[in-house]
Structure 1
Amino acid sequence: MHMIMGYERVRVLFLLFLIPLPTVLGWGKEGHYATCKIAQEYLSEDALFAVKQLLPDSAQGDLAAVCSWADEVGHTHRYHWSSALHYVDTPDFKCNYEYCRDCHDSYRHEHRCVSGAIYNYTMQLKSADAGISSEFNYNLTEALMFLSHFVGDIHQPLHVGFTGDLGGNTITVHWYRRKANLHYVWDDLIIQSALKTFYDSDLSIMIQAIQRNITDNWLNDVSTWEHCAHNYTACPNRYASESISLACKFAYRNATPGSTLKDEYFLSRLPVVEKRLAQGGVRLAAILNRIFTSSKTRIAQA
């Protein structure tokens, strides 16, 4: 795996290259809500205190309430620059991810991708929490909301898809009788179909089922999910590598243009989606726990 450029350089480049780009959304609202609901259950006391201090009043202390914020503002002129930060594409049919090769926008500006964004906003929150003086006036509320959203995005396999089809956006398929593109199937339709088929159209029931899987079936995996090599606060290169592997193995397979995706595809891919929601939630909590260790006093005084 390639060595990542230092946080300082990532920060400067983000500020230099605020260039409008096409919007690509991540998990739908249900997926982002689920990721952040799961994360909130795994926050330490210090991290939960810090998060609630940073959340906007409209969230009423609920991180999940703002986890789709980055998609909502991405449609506005003020935040259109953030569009490239929701995903990272690999060369066509390359089922592996490399930061130095892949993390750039369509103008080939380095570090402008979802993994670069996670490093950037992690750095912003961590430097501010440590009380490090900076010439940059970070908006920590926005940093928290962007980070929470992008950790969800990078766990959606087609947010690390192929360049040629824009992560499945240009692959038109039928989801049962509904015409859609493959990216939207993974953002929304698998989750929505699961809600109707298995969870009585109640997202809270689906989240509870995923949480039970975490505490039962995946309990021995949680520490591995949380771990980052070299004591990094976040390790998005690992998350991206997992996603492109899953995209090749599950998302793209048997989903050629014009194909109809029905029960066989849905029932075999749903466990992948639910596990990625679980991993995203557990990892988001782990990142925030590492950022906000013993942070009560500093956040309260900020």
Structure 2
Amino acid sequence: MRLFLSAAATVLAFVPGQAFAWGKTGHRVIGKIAEPYLAAAAKAGVKRILGAETMAEASNWPDTMRSDPAPFWQREAGPYHYVTVPKGKTYAEAGHPPEGDGVTALRRFAATVRDPKASLADKQAAIRFIIHIIGDLHQPLHAGNGTDQGANDVRVTFKGRSTNLHSVWDSALVDEEQLSYSEMAEWLGARITPALSREWMIADPQVWIAESTALRDQVYPTGENRSLSWRYIYENTPRMELRLQQGGVRLAAYLNDLFKRQRR
């Protein structure tokens, strides 16, 4: 596929230690929540490209492929999973690095979906990346502050287990619920009222990132206590669930806009 053969020699390697966002369950939840909010054109467009593959199934593909030895995966795709926004700045003020980031990748893959000359394989890769990146940008620590690799460097214990803060948000909080992705998507989806879905139906990545950076600065443990247990779970599970819900609605909003533009 051309998409994977065009890695530029000048791009930087993926930052070591950068964890996956949401883990497999969280990404699947976002894909599943998005489904009922897809407009007819978006639903048909996704079906035309992915076939029988659901958005929940497609959502983890960019993480699964990270071990592929191809240059695209080893030298180019890593930064597409996150953005860096120093505290006190907006994404627009910070700008994107030369190697790109989640926002520039979204633009790239949206252009591939719209390109009538792109192969089906490239369109499939692009849709899978779009689904995944939108999930990533709703994980608050994937809008990193530029000082600690998205809190990968922030060592904590979670219910007595040594880990890092990024990993807590990727998977520990989600897995603490002990639900399958379909159960969690059903429960969280049922709580999204029509008013909330209208309020959240925003296709602008900079809005999502501003929300993530605001939340990011609230989820770091305070003081010297890095032992996270029931209090941290109690305070942050609603925040985690909100971002999964919003991620699902925003995924639909972005795809609705993408396929509406494609028809013009």
What secondary structure sits across from 1:173 in the alignment? strand
1:236-275 C-alpha deviation (Å, 9 max, x unpaired): 11111110100002x2143x67611011111110111111
Per mean C-alpha deviation after superposition, the further-off stretch among 94-103 and 283-292 is: 94-103
* CA–CA separation in structure 1 for the residues paired with 2:54 and 2:120: 25
Give RMSD over aligned pairs: 2.6
* CA–CA separation in structure 1 for the residues paired with 2:120 and 2:10: 17
User: Does the Cα contact within 8 Å between 1:124 and 1:138 map onto a contact in 2?
Assistant: no
What secondary structure sits across from 1:293 in the alignment? helix
One-letter code of the match for 2:90?
A: Y
Q: Which residue of 1 aligns with 2:220?
A: 252
One-letter code of the match for 2:206?
A: N
1:21-60 C-alpha deviation (Å, 9 max, x unpaired): 22532110001000001112211222112112211x6xx3
* CA–CA separation in structure 1 for the residues paired with 2:69 and 2:204: 30
What secondary structure sits across from 1:179 in the alignment? strand
Q: Work out the percentage of aligned pairs sharing the same amino acid.
A: 30
Q: 1:238 aligns with which of 204, 207, 211?
A: 207
What secondary structure sits across from 1:205 in the alignment? helix
* CA–CA separation in structure 2 for the residues paired with 1:178 and 1:43: 40
Question: Are the structure 2 counterparts of residues 76 and 220 from structure 1 closer, same or farther at C-alpha, using a change threshold of 3 Å?
Answer: same
User: Does the Cα contact within 8 Å between 1:37 and 1:63 map onto a contact in 2?
Assistant: yes
What secondary structure sits across from 1:270 in the alignment? helix
Per mean C-alpha deviation after superposition, the further-off stretch among 186-195 and 72-81 is: 72-81
- Whether 1:61 and 2:28 are equivalent positions in the alignment is no
- Whether 1:139 and 2:122 are equivalent positions in the alignment is yes
User: Does the Cα contact within 8 Å between 1:175 and 1:260 map onto a contact in 2?
Assistant: yes
User: Does the Cα contact within 8 Å between 2:60 and 2:132 map onto a contact in 1?
Assistant: yes
* CA–CA separation in structure 2 for the residues paired with 1:89 and 1:66: 25
Q: Which residue of 2 aligns with 1:122?
A: 110
Q: 1:35 aligns with which of 26, 30, 36?
A: 30
TM-score scaled by structure 1? 0.76
Q: Which residue of 2 aligns with 1:83?
A: 78
Q: Which residue of 1 aligns with 2:3?
A: none
Q: Which residue of 2 aligns with 1:231?
A: none
User: Does the Cα contact within 8 Å between 1:96 and 1:241 map onto a contact in 2?
Assistant: no
One-letter code of the match for 1:145?
A: R
Q: Which runs of 5+ in 1 are unaligned?
A: 1-12, 196-200, 228-233
User: Does the Cα contact within 8 Å between 1:225 and 1:282 map onto a contact in 2?
Assistant: yes
- Whether 1:223 and 2:223 are equivalent positions in the alignment is no
Q: Which residue of 2 aligns with 1:204?
A: 182
Q: Which runs of 5+ in 2 are unaligned?
A: 1-5
What secondary structure sits across from 1:283 in the alignment? helix
- Whether 1:184 and 2:167 are equivalent positions in the alignment is yes
One-letter code of the match for 2:13?
A: P
Q: Give 1:211 shift.
A: 0.5
What secondary structure sits across from 2:124 in the alignment? helix
TM-score scaled by structure 2? 0.87
Q: 2:101 aligns with which of 110, 113, 118?
A: 113
Question: Are the structure 2 counterparts of residues 191 and 257 from structure 1 closer, same or farther at C-alpha, using a change threshold of 3 Å?
Answer: farther
